[in-house]
Chains A and B, each alone.
Chain A
Amino acid sequence: MKRELSRRNFLKSSGAIAAGVLASQVMPLAAAQGDLPFEVAPEAVNPLGLEAGANVEGIFFEGGFGRSYIDNAADIFRALHPENEMTVEGIQQVSEILRPRFIAGNPPDVIDNSGAFHIPMDSLVADEQLTDLAPLMAAPALDTPGKTFGETLFPNSQADGVFDGRQLYLNIAYTVSGIWHSQTLFDDMGWQYPSTWAGMLDLCETIKSAGIAPWTYQGKFPQYMVFGCLMHLVYKTGGIQAIKDIDNLVDDAWKSDAVMQAITMMHQLADLGYIMPGTEGLTHTESQAEWLQGNAAFIPCGTWLENEMRELTPAGFDMVIKPVPGPDESSYHSLVAWPGEPYIVPVNAANVVGGMEFMRCMLSKANAQFFAKEISAIMPVFGGSEGVELSSALQSALEAAEAANGGFNYLSRGWYSDLWTAVKNATGELLTNRVSPEQFADTVQAAADEVKADDDIPKYTHA
């Protein structure tokens, strides 16, 4: 499972330039398959053996991505299997609505288990509620001839869904996180994005003296600084081993020199007064609006920022994402690559095969292109942005991801929700100078120890 995403593959995936890309969209239809806009090889039509007449019920979290891409995938499914009906329902309160269905033993066949009210994945895994997707991963891909479904997905993009060697969920969105700024503002002021953390602090001083707050963050949700800054710094000071130690609940992992250094680096922003006063009282939208107004120069976020703030973005703002600078230039490029929007197929579903078959349509190249074009977001599918004109923000994100060779991820976020709640809270305290880096490490380490000692929480390993 240690395949790194090669630079080459990434170029292919982002490949707005690939020749003949439009061909896939104007190909003549395959004989049997109704309205499909692409050809399907005979062995890829029904590799999982979906029985005619077995209907598929899908219930999906309907959030920022909307539901058009789900409907599009369902349309592909219906064209592929005219004998099977497929229902699509969008909901928000996933946990409240679907728990009774799980308890009753008749969950829907496929679920987008996302949003603020999703069912914790660790619970679903611990209670053996999820289907091992191995047959799906090994099945031929729908519209990438000669490849299995699994081979069409970005390597590592599904690593967090692997529990004890079983693929239990699939991320359908691929985001990277880092630090955002307005290129226009930087050009106007003659500022250069720094390549080291020392350079970052210097630039912050310059920005501050220009009368702008250097940083803001999504105050009431300090976790943005965790995935948008802290974990990057941990990787840059301690390498992937420091990340794995945290994921694997190694004793005193949070107190290691490397992690302490990373915490201290982030704390400098607060200590030196580089964070916009009042930030801690803002929501994510409010802080991002402040940033768009030019009241702060930097903000951490994932690639969804552009779509999220579309209505509020002033013309010519030109937002770009950059990696968090590390202690030295050699570590500049790495960043957190964050696959998200996980889909599951419940093991007790009436039509497990149908659920998996729908996922083949969901993560097809055609649907990925629809996703890129209509939602301005990326699916972790090779060829998913072929023929699609990307926005500058998305383009900069793909470039950053490419330079980072796909980026890294920390996995325990989905395993130990209590630990990451503690990290979030402690980060808020650290960035408002209410605790020192040492106290931060003590608090978080105590939470990690508590998780480790709790026999009710199943443990996993980041290998």
Chain B
Amino acid sequence: MTKRKWHIILPFTLPSLLLFLVFLVYPYGQAMYISLTKWRGLTPKPTFVGFANFEKLLGDTLFWNALKHNLIYLVSIPVITIVISLYLAFLLTHGKARFRKFYRIAFFFPQVMSLVAIGVLWSFIYHPTIGVLSSIAGMLGAADPIAWLGNPDLALGAVGAVVVWQAVGFYVVLFMAGMDSIPESYYEAATIDGATRWHLFWQITLPLLWDTIRTALVFLAIGATNMFAITQTMTQGGPNRSTDVLSTYVYERAFLSGKFGYATAVAVAMFLLAFALSILTMRATRRETLEY
């Protein structure tokens, strides 16, 4: 058995591993070395400075500010996205709703929009004077137009909302695939016993879907530690750094300030953090998988 096992393990893993090592690990490794140097990203020879960049990082208020925003996203976005997606997926699977197929396709729409489109679209929705949200706020009695992306107290939430809006469709599809693969007979048995949908959800769907939810949690957590593209598209970290996240801060330091060494140190810190968090999430949510 053991020998035969390696006959499949090696040919099935080595090609992936090779590509991965060559195109990811090698360049990432090189990049990580940069974190120990002073480098403006223009000459072939960075100056080695040891851990100086990391020492500087500890006292850098802008770094902590960006990290704080990542943590806020990390707590809020996965939870909100999963709750909404589970709710919608459950309704679509067991809600006996009309137009199921239509909804299933429609919910996915935001996923096919490019980030450029999303950025443009939401800047019109968040537009203080002609935006839809401001019109609604106006109808509800707000005196002044609300500058969603211009107010440091609102901008972070406004960006986060767009992420949730975009992500839900993917997780609805994911959860529906999971829910559909739960045998109908379980539900039938429970329904005969008089269970409501609410009970069905808590007693059958949720436990059997736990693996999928766990996966979703990790995906979303990873996404929340990044947030680069959407932040860059919508606010570039503004106003006054109220939507800065680590990735945009790394980008700013590297490409706009020309401090590649320091920027890479921030990136490495971000990497370690995300890695620790992912493992933590997986450990914390690990349970015996229910067999069915």
* A residues lining the B interface (CB < 8 Å): 95-96, 99, 102-105, 117, 119-120, 122-124, 126-127, 129, 219-220, 222, 277-283, 286, 290, 295, 417-418, 421, 425-426, 428-429, 432, 434, 456
Q: What is the chain A residue whose CB lies nearest that of B155?
A: A281
- In contact, B240 and A280 (Cβ under 8 angstroms): no
Contact partner of A102 (CB less than 8 A), chosen from B43, B123, B134, is B43
* Residue B29 interfacial (CB < 8 Å): no
Across-interface contacts of A220 in B (CB, < 8 A):
149-150, 235-236, 238-239
B104 contact set on A, CB distance < 8 A: none
Cross-chain contact B150 with A119 (CB below 8 angstroms): no
Chain B residues contacting A105 (CB-CB under 8 Å) are 44
Contact segment of B181-189, B191-199, B253-261, B269-277: B253-261
Task: Evaluate contact between B41 and A99: CB separation under 8 angstroms.
Answer: yes
Within the assembled complex, what's the spacing in Å between the Cα atoms of A126 and B39?
11
Contact A280 B42 (CB under 8 A): no
Q: Is the CB of A281 within 8 A of B41?
A: no
Give the CA-CA distance A213 to B127 in the complex, in Å.
17
Residues on B facing A (Cβ under 8 Å): 38, 40-44, 123, 126-129, 134, 144-152, 235-236, 238-241, 255-259
Q: Which residue of B lies closest to A276 (CB)?
A: B129
Bound form: Cα–Cα A434–B153 in Å: 11
Q: How far is the CA of A14 from the CA of B150 in the complex (A)?
A: 40
Q: Which of B38, B44, B151 contacts A281 (CB 8 A)?
A: B151
Closest to A221 in B: B238
Residues of chain B within 8 A of A421, CB atoms compared: 256
Tell me how far the C-beta of B54 lies from the nearest C-beta in chain A, rounded to whole angstroms. Answer: 16
Q: Which residues of A contact B150 (CB under 8 A)?
A: 219-220, 278-282, 428, 432
- For B145, what are the chain A residues with a Cβ–Cβ distance below 8 Å? 277-278, 281
Give every chain A residue within 8 A of B127 (Cβ-Cβ). Answer: 281-282, 286
Q: A105-B44, A282-B128, A428-B238 are in contact. List 11 more A-B contacts (CB 8 A).
A: A119-B42, A220-B150, A280-B150, A281-B145, A281-B149, A281-B150, A417-B257, A425-B238, A428-B150, A429-B240, A432-B150
Q: Tell me if B258 and A290 are in contact (CB < 8 A).
A: no
Determine whether the beta carbon of A278 is less than 8 Å from that of B42: no
Q: How far is the CA of A124 from the CA of B258 in the complex (A)?
A: 9
Q: How many A-B Cβ pairs are below 8 Å? A: 100
Is B240 touching A99 in the complex (CB atoms < 8 A)? no
B43 contact from A103, A122, A456, Cβ within 8 A: A103
**Known A-B contacts A117-B255, A456-B38; A280 and B44 likewise in contact (beta carbons under 8 Å):** no
* 10 residue pairs from A and B, CB less than 8 Å apart: A102-B43, A105-B44, A119-B42, A123-B42, A129-B42, A129-B43, A220-B235, A220-B239, A279-B128, A425-B241
CB neighbours (8 Å) of B40 from chain A are: 123, 126-127
Q: Which residues of chain B have C-beta atoms less than 8 A from A123's C-beta?
A: 40-42, 258
Contact with A278, one of B128, B238, B240 (Cβ below 8 angstroms): B128
Chain A residues in 8 Å Cβ range of B256: 120, 417, 421
B42–A99 CB distance below 8 A: yes
B258 and A280 contacting across the interface, CB-CB below 8 Å? no
* Cβ of B258 to closest chain A Cβ, rounded Å: 3
**Whole-angstrom distance between the alpha carbons of A129 and B38 in the complex?**
17
Q: Considering only CB atoms, which chain A residue lies closest to B145 in the complex?
A: A278
Which chain A residue lies CB-closest to B158? A281
CA separation between A368 and B123, bound complex, in Å?
A: 37
| Chain B contacts for A102, CB-based, 8 A | 42-43
The smallest beta-carbon distance between A315 and chain B, in angstroms, is 21
A277 to B42 alpha-carbon distance, docked (Å):
44
The 6 closest A-B pairs by CB, nearest first: A278-B128, A281-B147, A280-B150, A281-B150, A123-B258, A278-B145
Partner of B147, one of A124, A280, A418: A280
Cα A266 to Cα B283 with chains together (Å): 55
Give the nearest-CB partner of B46 in chain A.
A103
Contacts of B126 in A (CB 8 A): 281
Q: Is the CB of B146 within 8 A of A278?
A: yes
Give, as a whole number of angstroms, the nearest-CB distance from A292 to chain B.
13
CB distance from B186 to the nearest CB of A (A): 50
Query: How far is A99 from B40 in the complex, measured between Cα atoms in Å?
Result: 10
> Which residue from chain B places its CB closest to the CB of A126 in the assembled complex?
B40
The CB with the most chain B CB atoms within 10 A, among A95, A96, A278, is that of A278
Distance to closest chain B CB from A347 (angstroms) = 11
A423 vs chain B, min Cβ distance (A): 12
Task: Collect the chain B residues with CB atoms within 8 Å of residue A434's CB.
Answer: 152, 240
Contact across chains for A103 and B147 when beta carbons are under 8 A apart: no
Q: In the complex, what's the smallest C-beta–C-beta distance from A290 to chain B, in angstroms?
A: 7
A297, chain B: closest CB distance, angstroms? 15
> Given A103-B41, A278-B145, are A122 and B258 also a contact pair (CB < 8 Å)?
yes
Residue contact A95 to B255, C-beta cutoff 8 Å: yes
Q: Determine the chain A residues whose CB is within 8 A of the CB of B42 once the complex forms.
A: 99, 102-103, 119, 123-124, 127, 129
Measured CA separation A290–B131 after assembly (Å): 13
Q: A residues within 8 A CB of B239?
A: 220, 222, 280, 425, 428-429, 432
